[in-house]
Amino acid sequence: MTHPNFVLPAARADLGIKYGVYIMSHDVCQKWTPPSDTVLIRILSGLWPFGPLKNPDAFADILEVKFDDVDGIGGGQLPIQEKHAKLIVDFFEKNKGRKLAVHCHAGMSRSPATAAAWLYFHDNKEGEEAIWNSPMFVCNRKVYRMVTEEVENRRFGKRLRKGMIEKTGS
């Protein structure tokens, strides 16, 4: 008999065990029971509405954001925007040190890009590289870039801007 929590493919489950990130599709997430102290980012799309989770109370926190798996505007689709990156990084800061589960429709592009950004936020280069080098994922580069840029803005932006003001006297 298979344990009911073993709905993640083994290679994806290994990322969770080793790095504390669980990357999955919407369908898998609906059936999945997370380990304790896991937070969830649900990436909603205008094209694919998401149904309820089996165990929403099993997550320590849940963020839902809505953007499509595209790089530019067109065809009625919404790419990630600065407001989404800010919400995601707010969530990272609020839940630093916990385990992260993230899902979109297929769990192949937006989800791994968001998980890689989470590992970037936690300075976990090895985990980040494991996601980027995995043949299971094709990370959405725009999602990764926008979220990691927001991380950098928060880490260094205020100090850099303050230093520029002091140097220029503005």
DSSP of 133-152, one letter per residue? T-TT----HHHHHHHHHHHH
**pLDDT for position 4:** 38
Q: Half-sphere exposure (CA, 13 Å, Cβ side) for 89? A: 22
Residue in the structure block whose two tokens are 């709905």: 7
Burial profile 69-104: b = 16 or more Cβ within 10 angstroms, e = fewer? bbeeeeeeeebbeeebbebbbebbeebeebbbbbbb
Amino acid at the residue 8: L
**Could you give all domains of the chain from N- to C-terminal order, each with its CATH number?**
10-168 (3.90.190.10)
The count of other CB atoms within 10 Å of the CB of residue 67 is 23
**pLDDT for position 21:** 95
User: pTM value?
Assistant: 0.86
**pLDDT for position 168:** 46
Distance CA 153, CA 157 (A): 4
Q: Mean pLDDT per 10-residue run, the chain (170 residues)? A: 45 82 91 93 82 90 93 74 97 97 93 97 96 93 96 81 49
Q: What are phi and psi of 2, to 5 degrees?
A: -85, 135
**pLDDT for position 34:** 92
Q: Half-sphere exposure (CA, 13 Å, Cβ side) for 90? A: 11
Side-by-side strand order, sheet with 21-25: 21-25, 99-104, 38-44, 61-66
